[in-house]
């Protein structure tokens, strides 16, 4: 009898949590029986579209998975984020809003392609490849730019 009661309680909890995901991004209560201290709200999969004004290339748009990068702290990439306000895109005013000059610190291009910055995609992946090599793991594909782990060419 006790196992049936426990199983019923477990089923109710699982169903409540499953139903709660409909309002997962809202603060505070997100179901009738659960009160959340904090919630996560970000796109799991996204595609970067080049802002107008960025040099056009024939490279495929970059698809990004927050799930695959879950071990990286948010502020590593979102280095201007205070942890409370809404996260802004890289090309927002005051961040990487220089769409023309590739070598400037505020360059949109360098936000993703700076080999020496751990908070750029390329810099982080190059650093990760050193660690992967030491562990005997396959490196992340970073070259050629036209078909790598970031700019994946259509099959």
Give the residue ranges of the annotated binding site for heme c: 66, 69, 74, 77-79, 90, 95-96, 121, 124-125, 145
Question: Which segments are annotated as binding site?
Answer: 66, 69, 74, 77-79, 90, 95-96, 121, 124-125, 145
9 Cβ contact list (under 8 Å, min separation 6)? none
Distance CA 20, CA 36 (A): 11
**Token pair for 76:** 């590593």
- Is the separation of the CB atoms in 40 and 26 below 8 Å? no
* Beta-bridge partner residues of 64: 46
Using alpha carbons, select from 99, 127, 124, 97 the residue that is nearest to residue 113: 124
Distance CA 63, CA 56 (A): 17
C-alpha distances out from residue 131 to 119, 120, 128, 136, 146, Å: 16, 17, 5, 9, 24
């Amino acid at each position: 009898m006790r196992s049936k009661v426990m199983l019923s309680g477990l089923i109710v909890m699982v169903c409540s949590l499953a139903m709660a995901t409909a309002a997962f991004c809202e603060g505070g209560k997100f179901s009738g029986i659960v009160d959340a201290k904090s919630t996560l709200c970000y796109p799991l999969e996204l595609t970067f579209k080049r802002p107008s004004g960025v040099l056009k290339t024939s490279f495929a748009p970059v698809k990004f998975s927050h799930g695959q990068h879950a071990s990286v702290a948010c502020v590593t990439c979102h280095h201007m984020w205070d942890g409370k306000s809404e996260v802004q895109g890289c090309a927002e005013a005051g961040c990487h809003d220089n769409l023309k000059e590739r070598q400037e610190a505020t360059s949109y291009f360098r936000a993703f392609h700076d080999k020496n910055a751990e908070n750029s995609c390329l810099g982080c992946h190059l650093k990760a490849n050193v660690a992967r090599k030491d562990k005997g793991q396959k490196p992340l594909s970073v070259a050629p730019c036209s078909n790598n782990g970031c700019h994946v060419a259509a099959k």
